[in-house]
Structure 1
Amino acid sequence: MTYLVVDACIKCKYTDCVEVCPVDCFYEGENFLVIDPEECIDCGVCEPECPAEAIVPDTEDTSDGKWLKINSEYAAKWPNITVRKDPAPDADDWSQVKNKFDEHFSTKPGTGDE
């Protein structure tokens, strides 16, 4: 099992989860974070830290494995993030919006630990 970031993170990008990860397996996009499933040690410490409840075990992925594919693909493309940053300015407004992926997901990388 691994943990995955799902679309509740889009346009919120709280980084409380990054701060507690013992293996630094988070990667940063412009408006979303992902977990590298190959690096994740399944400890679960990140899950309760996410205010948007955007981190789930892979057993809660869609039947087609959508989130595993997205997390794997973008972990290979985006920079690693290991330090906490401020969330998006309007994160609290976006945190309750459902089904954000199709309209709001950005493939652009974030800045990582810069």
Structure 2
Amino acid sequence: MAFVITSPCIGEKAADCVEVCPVDAIHEGEEQYFIDPDTCIDCGACEPVCPVEAIFEEEMVPEDEKEFIQKNAEFFKG
């Protein structure tokens, strides 16, 4: 997984990231958006347009937001 959407997105869902994603990797969940780890091409277009700064490269996810790495991956399972 290249990029992860974290808790600041919950309830915000501005969708700026969806509009700039060139491969349609970002999908809407009930409370927030998620990035499909199998579709994301690690281009980084989504990160700078997020108005709440909720998107991070997986290696840069803050310690207190690490659970969102798994939440993003689980959203796209089965």
Q: Common fold, TM-score beyond 0.5?
A: yes
8 Å CA contact retained: 1:2, 1:41: yes
Mapped contact 1:27–1:75 kept (Cα < 8 A): no
Q: Structure 2 length normalisation: TM-score?
A: 0.86
Tell me the secondary structure at the aligned position of residue 18 of structure 1: helix
TM-score under structure 1 length normalisation: 0.61
Q: Which amino acid aligns with 2:4?
A: L
**C-alpha root-mean-square deviation of aligned residues, in Å?**
2.0
- Matched residues, number: 77
**1:37-59: CA deviation from partner (whole Å, max 9, x where unpaired):** 11110000000010000111001
The structure that is strand-richer by fraction is: 2
Identity %: 45
Deviation beyond 3 Å, 4+ runs, structure 1 = none
Which residues of structure 1 form unaligned runs of 5+? 78-114
1: CA distance between counterparts of 2:13 and 2:70? 19
1:9 alignment counterpart: 9
Q: What 5-or-longer segments of structure 2 have no aligned partner?
A: none
Find the structure with the greater CA-based Rg: 1
Partner amino acid, structure 2, of 1:66 = E
Query: Which residue number corresponds to residue 30 of structure 2?
Result: 30
